[in-house]
Structure formats: C-alpha cells, structure tokens
A = this chain, B = another copy of it.
Amino acid sequence: MKFQTHRLSVSTRGGNDIHDLTPGVTKLLDDSGLEQGQVTVFAPGSTAGVTTIEFEPGLIRDLPEALDRVAPMGVPYHHDAAWGDGNGYAHVRAALVGASLVVPFHGRRLILGTWQQVVLMDFDNRPRRREIVVQILGE
C-alpha cells in the first residue's frame, strides 16, 4: 500500500472552462503499476472544481448554463464589492461543485462509466495555470 502524489498542469481560458482530465489521470495510473485502490483528484484554488460528466460539446455548454441559474455572472456579489476582482460567481460555483473527487480503480483500470469523464471546471474570469493534484493510493 503506498501513496503517489502527482500534479497535472492545465492551462485554462477562464469563464467556465471545462477540461477532460481522464487521459492524464489514466496515464499516471498506468505508470504507477498499482492494481487496486483509488485516485483522489483535487483542485487547489477557490475558483475551480472537479466532477465527472460526459465530456461532449453539448454538456460543456449545458453545465455552465445551469450554474447561471444558481450563481449568475451578471449580478452583484459581496465578494466583488469588497475585492473588485469580479469573480464572485466563480468562488460560489467552485464551492458548490466541490474541490475533490475520489475514483476507485481495480485491475489497474479506473472504474468509470463508458461515457463518464473526470473534468476540471475552471470558473475564474481570466486564464489560469492550474496544478491539479492527482493522488494515487493503492496496492
């Protein structure tokens, strides 16, 4: 049983940019040589989240549109009034989506649905370079 703590660098464009992390996570798992365990994917930073979705162009638009109903981009935020950075919506969305995801693996393969991908959602209002944590625990 051992831990491996890796980083995946992702350059994002800002404004609800969604990235498929599955190929990067799969590569790290292949390289680990571990048979069974779990991968924790964590987004350091308070304007990005990690979840799973079918990574296809329609849903890449649908998901931010749904979040517009919860934390719209065009309304006042107390955060923005105090700090003036205009990304209050992004903080709220990130808190709701969540920073961590845990995906089990078995037989050296991630146990994901056929149409299910691990994604980073970067909500911030400017391009960012994200260093996503991929921590593998297994045997």
Chain A contact residues, CB within 8 Å of chain B: 1-3, 5, 36-38, 40, 42, 44-46, 51-54, 56-59, 61-63, 66-67, 69-71, 77-83, 88, 91-92, 94-104, 106, 111-113, 115-117, 133, 135, 137-139
A88-B59, A104-B40 are contacts. A133–B111 as well, Cβ < 8 Å?
yes
Within 8 Å by CB of A95, from B45, B52, B111, lies: B52
Copies in the complex: 3
Q: Chain A at the B interface: mostly helix, strand, loop or mixed?
A: mixed
- CB <8 Å contact, B99 and A101: yes
Are the C-beta atoms of B82 and A58 separated by less than 8 Å?
yes
Selected from B3, B69, B96, the residue in CB contact (under 8 A) with A36 is B3
